[in-house]
Amino acid sequence: MDGGREWADNREWIKEVQRFKKVFSQRSSNTKHYYMAGNHDLGFGDGIKPSVVERFENEFGETSYELSLDSHSIVVVDSVSMSSTSAQINHKSRDFVRQLRPSDKPRILFSHVPLYRQPSPISGTLTAPAAEDMCGPLRQKSKQIRQGVGYQYQNLMTKELTDIILTHAQPDMIFSGDDHDYCEVFHAFEARKIPEISVNTFSMAQGVKYPGVVLLNLYAGDVPKSESYTTKLCLLPDQISIFIRYAILLGITLAGLLANNILDLFGYSLLSTSSPIMPSTRQEADKADAREHRYLSQRRILISRSLEAIKRTAKDIRQIALPSLLFYLICVLLL
């Protein structure tokens, strides 16, 4: 809900909720949907209003919760509310985290805001320690995730809150979002290295060339916790470049149609042969022009023929575009 934190009018909220549920419809009764609140849904920290949280929970359920599966423990933490200094906002998420108990099953933690990591040393020496905040080769941006704060956002959880989450949740794997680009780091905590993956946005308009999702597979059975799950980054096409190519091809097509009609009216044709693909009325047009424009200036003839070329081009576009548009609408409605 990209503007959920800003909508004071519930009518706008209801409209967008209906749109969201239509896009992410539950296609099977065997499939369950679970949600995690982000800073665009609620705001961040002290910018969160109780009424906005209540509205979200009424529609999507609790913002912090645990799912106990046969093979795994799934913990979702409302990290945006947890970051507030107001007890009215942060108490539910902080109490939830503090009440978590260690699990014998592998535990997967979800947090919208990435957890804190030590910034890499500013050093070019080969002896510098491995950077904890380097995101790995699958990241598209050159910049790593560094702490930063702005209107209704914070790039990372604070170290204090991160330590609280790691101490009480004891996760074996962490997933986060917010940054819009893929990032994989390892948190050194109590002699363990806990992996965290920040998941790509799957929107083409959020600053990455290739949107994507991460597929998480959970495995039951007597296996080590680190082998009880696998992840796979699934990248989507570069949609903006596809649209740009469409626009270029559209421009070339329109220019070609217009050029052919202009040349046709002036006695030439790009498309006409002895058996023309498109019907040509060059001879008839020439005869009519000779009679009609016998006493007109060459300039007026040029203008007249140019306008006629534009009209023919518009007709060609209608003949090409209408069947294509009709086919597209049928596909949208039926598929």
Query: Do residues 231 and 312 both lie within one domain?
Result: no
Place of tokens 């904890």: 132
* Residue 220 lies inside a defined structural domain of this protein: yes
Q: Are strands 73-77 and 107-111 parallel, antiparallel or unpaired?
A: parallel
* Contact by Cβ (8 Å): 168, 100: yes
Statement: the pTM of the whole predicted model exceeds 0.85: no
Q: How far apart are CA 252 and CA 270, in angstroms?
A: 14
* Contact by Cβ (8 Å): 200, 214: yes
Query: Do residues 295 and 209 both lie within one domain?
Result: no
**Which strand (E) or helix (H) includes residue 215?**
strand 212-218
Q: How far is CA 179 from the centre of its chain?
A: 11
Q: What is the pLDDT of residue 284?
A: 59
* Residue 82 lies inside a defined structural domain of this protein: yes
Query: Do residues 163 and 244 both lie within one domain?
Result: no
Q: How far apart are CA 287 and CA 293, in angstroms?
A: 10
- Could you list the pLDDT tens digit for every one of the 335 residues in the chain? 666 666 767 888 888 888 888 888 877 778 888 999 999 889 999 999 999 999 999 999 999 999 999 999 999 999 999 999 999 999 999 999 999 999 999 999 999 999 998 886 654 444 445 555 688 899 998 888 888 888 888 999 999 999 999 999 999 999 999 999 999 999 998 888 999 999 999 888 888 999 999 999 999 888 888 899 999 999 999 988 998 998 999 899 888 888 888 887 776 655 555 445 555 555 555 666 555 555 556 667 777 777 888 888 888 888 877 888 888 788 777 76
* Residue 316 lies inside a defined structural domain of this protein: yes
Query: Do residues 86 and 171 both lie within one domain?
Result: yes
Q: What is the pLDDT of residue 334?
A: 74
Nearest to 305, CA basis, from 285, 319, 291: 285
Q: Which of 217, 237, 257 is the last residue of a domain?
A: 237
Query: Do residues 195 and 285 both lie within one domain?
Result: no
**Which strand (E) or helix (H) includes residue 65?**
strand 65-68
7 phi-psi bin (left φ>0, alpha ψ -120 to 50, beta other): beta
Nearest to 77, CA basis, from 174, 179, 219, 216: 174
Q: Which of 221, 237, 253 is the last residue of a domain?
A: 237
* Contact by Cβ (8 Å): 180, 168: no
Query: Do residues 248 and 211 both lie within one domain?
Result: no
Q: How far apart are CA 23 and CA 41, in angstroms?
A: 17
* Residue 1 lies inside a defined structural domain of this protein: no
Query: Do residues 150 and 42 both lie within one domain?
Result: yes
Q: 290-319: string of b/e by CB count within 10 Å (b at 16+)?
A: eeeeeeeeeeebeeebeebbeebbeebeee
Q: Which of 237, 256, 285 is the last residue of a domain?
A: 237
Domain span at residue 293 reads: 240-334
Query: Do residues 204 and 270 both lie within one domain?
Result: no
* Residue 5 lies inside a defined structural domain of this protein: no
Place of tokens 């002895």: 274
Query: Do residues 141 and 267 both lie within one domain?
Result: no
How many domains does one find in the chain?
A: 2
Q: How far apart are CA 218 and CA 256, in angstroms?
A: 55
* Residue 20 lies inside a defined structural domain of this protein: yes
Q: How far apart are CA 313 and CA 307, in angstroms?
A: 10
* Residue 2 lies inside a defined structural domain of this protein: no
Query: Do residues 232 and 244 both lie within one domain?
Result: no
* Contact by Cβ (8 Å): 176, 197: yes
Q: What is the pLDDT of residue 265?
A: 74
Query: Do residues 325 and 206 both lie within one domain?
Result: no
* Residue 3 lies inside a defined structural domain of this protein: no
Query: Do residues 224 and 306 both lie within one domain?
Result: no
Nearest to 38, CA basis, from 22, 60, 19, 21: 60
